[in-house]
Amino acid sequence: MKFIITGSGGCVCTPKPLCQCNVCVEARKKGYPYKRCGCSLFLDDISLLVDTPEDIAIAINNADIKGIDNILYSHWDPDHTLGMRIMEQLRLEWLDYYDKIKPENPINIFAWADVMSDINQIRSKYGSLLDYYEHMGLIKRTIVDSYIEINDIRISFVPVQKSKSVSVFVFESNGKKLVYAPCDCVPFPNDNIIQNADILIIGNTYIGNVLKNGRIITDDHPLHNELHSMSDIFKIVETMNIKNVIVTHIEEDWGKSYSDYLELEKQYTNLKFAYDGMIVEL
């Protein structure tokens, strides 16, 4: 399986609009991989995209993606869904539309039932955007109970036990396993299918206790209830017997540049920090 991290950023892209901090100034000057688009992942083998942040069109172009036939949604949050108009850009040909010609290959949209219900609520005054896209023949929605299989790749949907609806994805093929948990994965699912994964790509993590502008995350900071610390990540790795970890959904608020993360990696074994365009093969 060949994965491309199309977007490694958090709910705010890097550089943050208007921001003149050192990290954002450097990102504007140097471009990728110092720049980060919103969090998303692409599986090249089956032309599958996970999530559509607002800047997904930019991320797709940056990664030079050649085709998208399938989209998975992890949850409804705006930084993972509000780029869904990419469905129009990928399939809608306006001159064909005026000739009443619909696309021959609508994009398959997959989500766990509760997640799909949430996403269906994203709407204009005319109704659900996904209803509109399906009516136009641009997409076909499928609710997933537990897993799907596309070619020789099995994708399991693992719910996160919290009040909002969130899925973690487990990709398996030819004896290899990758787990993608981009956001809202506290508490981390204690599911046997995650055990012994070759790679865990995980977000929902704050990196270090000293963040942008010297802000300190104290032991009683409420962020601990929302995000994983680095020590939490290593507890997950040990408990689930995971071989390698890649940290994604990297927030501009953490106050670190691409170069800083390269230095930070040297402190760890079998852990990398994601960047836009990063290729992960297994």
Asked if residue 19 lies in contact with residue 212, where contact means CB atoms within 8 angstroms, the answer is no
Cα dist. 247→1, 49, 72, 112 in Å? Answer: 19, 18, 20, 24
Low-confidence ranges of the chain (pLDDT < 70): none
137 token code pair: 């023949």
Strand partners, 192: none
Q: pLDDT tens across 32-51, in order?
A: 999 999 999 999 999 999 99
Closest CA to 144 of 68, 44, 50: 50
31 token code pair: 């471009």
How many Cβ atoms from other residues are within 10 Å of residue 136's Cβ?
Answer: 16
> How high does pLDDT run on average in the chain?
96
Task: Supply the pLDDT for residue 162.
Answer: 84
Task: Supply the pLDDT for residue 225.
Answer: 86
* Look-up of token digits 């504007």: 28
Asked if residue 44 lies in contact with residue 281, where contact means CB atoms within 8 angstroms, the answer is no
Q: Which amino acid is at 119?
A: I
Domains along the sequence of the chain with CATH? 2-281 (3.60.15.10)
Q: pLDDT tens across 167-196, in order?
A: 999 999 999 999 999 999 999 999 999 999
Burial class (CB in 10 A: 0-12, 13-18, 19+), 126: exposed
Distance CA 222, CA 245 (A): 25
Strand partners, 178: 171, 199
Distance CA 228, CA 244 (A): 17
Asked if residue 54 lies in contact with residue 84, where contact means CB atoms within 8 angstroms, the answer is no
SS3 110: strand
Burial class (CB in 10 A: 0-12, 13-18, 19+), 221: middle
Task: Supply the pLDDT for residue 40.
Answer: 99
Task: Supply the pLDDT for residue 235.
Answer: 97
- Please give the backbone phi and psi of residue 61, each rounded to the nearest 5 degrees, phi first: -65, -40
